[in-house]
Amino acid sequence: MCGIVGYTGGSQAAPILLEGLEKLEYRGYDSAGIAVFGGKEKKKEPSIEVIKAKGRLKVLFEMTDSGKAVHGTCGIGHTRWATHGEPSVVNSHPQYAKDKRVVVVHNGIIENYQELKERLVRDGCEFVSDTDTEVVAHLLDRYYEKDPVDAISKLMYHVRGSYALGILFGDRPGEIYAVRKDSPLIVGRSAGGNFIASDVPAILRYTRDVCFIENQVIVRLTGKDIQFFDVDKAELKKEFTQIQWDTEAAEKGGFKHFMLKEIYEQPKAIRDTVSPRVKDGKVNLEELHLTQEDLASVRRIQMVACGSAYHVCMTARYMVEGLVRIPVDVDLASEFRYRRPILEENTLVIVISQSGETADSLAALREAKSLGHKVMAIVNVVGSSIAREADSVFYTWAGPEISVATTKAYSTQLAAVYLLAIAMGRARGLVDEQTEADMVAELLRLPEKIERILEEKERIQWFANKFSHSRDIFFIGRGLDYASSLEGSLKLKEISYIHSEAYAAGELKHGTISLIEDGILVIGVATQSSLFEKLISNMVEVKSRGAYVLGVTSYGNYSMEDVANYTIYVPKTMECFAASLVVVPLQLLAYYVALGKGLDVDKPRNLAKSVTVE
């Protein structure tokens, strides 16, 4: 949520800031603003000019002539997602103290802002916005005595909550200060200047040399230098990482939307996740620093995630319990801490997150570690908070995922849990050498099979156009297909705004079948042979009550056509891998339904790519 960009160097800052904010639009926002040191050319004394606008970035582009009307080589920018105070110009960032002595952009939530604000008001501070961020600006102004690092250090001792801050001090032209706690922030360096940003795509055009800032680290940037300090103002040494993917990977590449591009990137993303972990037909996870003995000693798995990653966990539970024969518990990260979890000895905790910055998932990781358990992370973003704090990390290497609705990150997370399940089954002696070889070979064939599904997208588009104005759409499935139904339903609701629910098909008679009306669309997912006939019976039940039934199944299950009004087939695969195939037509269905409604597919309302607050 929210996006931060900062630049100081030898070039004009405003165009760079606006371009960077544009690359962060996927994070979700309702207003935007920039602050540039130098202001208008006619001004002689260094000053900070602040320009803010409600709505999309194009408003800010128009106000500033794409940044060319704002002169100065140092500045910060922000896209705001309203939390405290309605979307408005006055509540948008940057926020500042009187006379712009301190100017701030902020991602996160200051939990004790109200008590701090009341104290500041009693001391004579005047507030103009409803934001928690303005409290930060006034506090910094109060603490500032010619030493920015000291002022920031004092701030950190007084505020509670999450924050990534970009800060300008009015008497420090050419300098940007930054600090983070639980909200993502990176630093980039180049010959032409230095940067801060919420995410890599914002600065990738200018540099691949980045440092992922750790919690409670303060940064000072000039055009030539970068310094890091801890909360006690001691200087730190930090390592920089080379980002391997390039700017083209973060552009649409001829596709109408990032979501469609990322759907089509799934075959490559799965190859990139699986191929490096396969050697001589065997799964090799040496990067996790877990021995065969470590894997064999696991007696229980606790999986924790949010959103689509939670659905990956649901799929993993069916596969791991079936293949490895150890119990798997799955929790929503937002609920995990609050049920006071009891984790047995030799429990492996697995946290899954695309960004590696998901606030609830990060909190769950810390809870598990505080209870003395090892945590494995499955993440996409190298150097993210969850990756740094976990005991072992399984990177999915999906590349940048820009669309808010995840597709390729979900598919690579599935691939990761497949590999982990096979490795654990082998370590426990439940998967023999031939079975492992067969499963690995089929895993490597999944990308080709997904490509075959994508070749038939027109059939899905035609069907989607028929139901783009539905009011309600239901999904049903059993076992692994129920987990896939959950993901299909989420994709549909988050980008089309159609009310959609997924039900375990066996639960229909326990109340939910009362929702079926004439003409309502019910999507039945059926790839599991042992449950196929039962699912067919459930489809008959809803069809007899007036539902229009779409069947999604594997080639060969042609009896589906006796029941379904329309059928979508996916290539055959091992049933434990079927989720990777059936999700593709469900993603396309959601995409084309939203497209048919004329909606902004990549930036659905009220949603953000990375949920960095609880």
pLDDT digits (tens, 9 = 90+) for 121-158: 998 899 999 999 999 999 999 999 999 999 999 999 99
- Map tokens 């910055």 to a residue: 357
Is the pLDDT at 612 greater than 60, yes or no? no
pLDDT (mean) for 181-185: 84
Asked if residues 102 and 124 have their Cβ atoms less than 8 Å apart, the reply is no
Band of residue 610 on the pLDDT scale cut at 50, 70, 90: low
Per-residue pLDDT tens over the stretch 597-608: 999 888 887 775
Question: Which residue is it, tokens 């031939």?
Answer: 434
Residue spans of beta strands (DSSP E) within 217-356: 217-221, 226-229, 235-236, 241-242, 278-279, 282-283, 300-305, 328-332, 347-353
Longest Cα–Cα distance of the chain, Å, equals: 80
> Which pLDDT does position 459 carry in this prediction?
92
Three-state secondary-structure class, residue 399: coil
Catalytic residues: 2, 609
Which residues are CB-contacts of 223 (< 8 A; sequence separation ≥ 6)? Answer: 8, 9, 10, 73, 74, 174, 193, 194
pLDDT band for 1, please (50, 70, 90 cuts). low
17 Cβ contact list (under 8 Å, min separation 6): 5, 6, 7, 34, 36, 67, 75, 76, 77
Give me the percent of the chain exceeding a pLDDT of 90.
69
Strands (DSSP E) contained in 111-207 are: 161-169, 176-181, 186-190, 193-197
Structure confidence at residue 256 (pLDDT): 86
pLDDT digits (tens, 9 = 90+) for 360-406: 999 999 999 999 899 999 998 877 889 889 999 999 988 888 888 99
Do β-strands 375-379 and 347-353 pair in parallel, antiparallel, or remain unpaired?
parallel
| Complete domains list, the chain, with CATH | 3-250 (3.60.20.10), 258-454 (3.40.50.10490), 461-596 (3.40.50.10490)
pLDDT digits (tens, 9 = 90+) for 379-392: 988 778 898 899 99
Stated pTM of the model: 0.72
| Start-to-end Cα distance in the chain | 11
Share above pLDDT 70 across residues of the chain, in percent, rounded to a whole number? 95
